[in-house]
Structures are given as C-alpha cells and as structure tokens.
C-alpha cells in the first residue's frame, strides 16, 4: 500500500497517543513482556510512521516492560541454496568469500517490515547475535532475552523465543498473522525436519 492509499483509506490520522490508547484498550499493560509483529500499512496513516508506532508501544509497556521483535536475515545463506534469486554457480566462491559477516549493529533485516527494521537500531535496544534468526529487544529484560543466542536450533531452547516464554510473555499481532513464536512450539513438538544452514559470521574476528 502506498502512502497515498493509506491516506485515502483513513478516517483520521493515527498518532502516538491514539495508538497507545488503542494498545491499552487491547489489554497491553505496563510491565508486559511483548513479542510484536506489525505491519505499518495495516494501521492506516500514522503521523510519524514507524517512529510513532514504536513510541506508542513503549508508552504502553513502559520501561518496566520489554518489547521484542524478530529481525531475521534469512538471506545470509550459502548461494548454492538460493532459489528465488539464484545466481550463476561461477559466482558462488566470490559470494562465499566476500559476503559481509553478520553484525548485529549494522546488518539489516529483510522482510520484517519498517517497524522492526527501525526498532533494531533504536536507542538502548539489544539485538541477538544470530546470522539468520536474530531478535531485537528493548526494556527491562532486553539483555536477558537477546544474550547468548545459540547457533543451532535458533528458534528452540535457549533462544529469545524460549526466554520470552519463560518470562510469560505475550504476543501482539498488528495487522499480520505472522507469529514467529509458533516456531518454538514446532521445535518442542519435534514436528519440523532438521535442516542445516550456513551463513557468514565472525569467529575470533575472522570471517567464516
């Protein structure tokens, strides 16, 4: 949806204050541990865009709470497995050698939406160090949620998802049915086949 479409479909502008009031009406409370999946275009026209949405979420949970968003980078994989954007096989060695290693501070998310992409760089936000399945968090439990993200079974035990579960976190879906917390249930149920992925990381400062 274009911004012009959002304006045409809106009955009034959404604001930080109106969104925070709507969140409280939905049941979001101060102190909540909240896993958020959000589509900016689904909210109507927002004065301030993703900045206002994040501020409204912070207003609703307060600094006593914690916000978490997925900031996945599933494109950081071996080019041999690329299907949608396949490249010539002759390119593979160059890509493997030169693809920048995942860096929580600078590597952008992809397909997560404008709100999550801004959130990962938000002041005082923390981001887990996983080349495919990172999460960003802000608030009281941000460090605990994002620390020591295991490379193997990145959405299972020891992952940010499991820590949100341990903290009795809640899931908020704003204009989307995507819910990454279900991956923890899939891992625990043993219903998903195990697949190996690779991606560029830094090991003792060296690209690997």
What pLDDT, in 10s, does the model give residues 23-79?
Answer: 999 999 999 999 999 999 889 899 999 999 999 999 999 999 999 999 999 889 999
- Whether 194 maps to a domain, the answer reads no
Structure token pair of residue 164: 């949100």
CB under 8 Å to 174, separation ≥6 — which residues? Answer: 36, 37, 38, 39, 42, 43
- Whether 208 maps to a domain, the answer reads no
What is the span of the domain harbouring residue 116? 3-72+107-181
Torsion angle of the four alpha carbons 14, 17, 22, 28, in this order, in degrees rounded to the nearest 10: 140
- Whether 195 maps to a domain, the answer reads no
pTM for this predicted structure = 0.92
What pLDDT, in 10s, does the model give residues 151-202?
Answer: 988 999 999 999 999 999 999 999 999 999 999 999 999 877 788 888 899 8
- Whether 191 maps to a domain, the answer reads no
What pLDDT, in 10s, does the model give residues 77-134?
Answer: 999 988 888 999 999 999 999 999 999 999 999 999 999 999 999 999 999 999 999 9
Overall domain count for the chain: 1
Q: What is the pLDDT of residue 83?
A: 86
- Whether 141 maps to a domain, the answer reads yes
């Amino acid at each position: 949806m274009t911004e012009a479409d959002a304006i045409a479909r809106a009955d009034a502008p959404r604001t930080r204050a109106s969104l925070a009031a709507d969140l409280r009406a939905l049941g979001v409370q101060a102190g909540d541990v909240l896993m958020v999946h959000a589509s900016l275009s689904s909210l109507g026209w927002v004065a301030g865009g993703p900045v206002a949405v994040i501020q409204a979420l912070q207003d609703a949970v307060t600094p006593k709470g914690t916000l978490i968003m997925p900031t996945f980078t599933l494109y950081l994989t071996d080019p041999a497995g690329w299907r949608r954007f396949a490249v010539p096989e002759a390119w593979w060695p160059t890509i493997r050698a030169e693809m920048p290693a995942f860096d929580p501070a600078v590597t952008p998310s992809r397909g997560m939406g404008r709100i999550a992409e801004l959130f990962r760089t938000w002041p005082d936000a923390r981001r887990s160090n996983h080349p495919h399945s990172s999460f960003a968090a802000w608030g009281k439990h941000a460090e605990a949620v994002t620390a020591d993200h295991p490379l193997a079974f990145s959405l299972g035990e020891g992952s940010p998802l499991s820590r949100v579960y341990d903290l009795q976190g809640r899931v908020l879906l704003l204009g989307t049915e995507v819910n990454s917390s279900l991956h923890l249930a899939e891992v625990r149920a043993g219903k998903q086949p195990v697949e190996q992925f690779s991606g560029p990381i830094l090991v003792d400062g060296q690209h690997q």
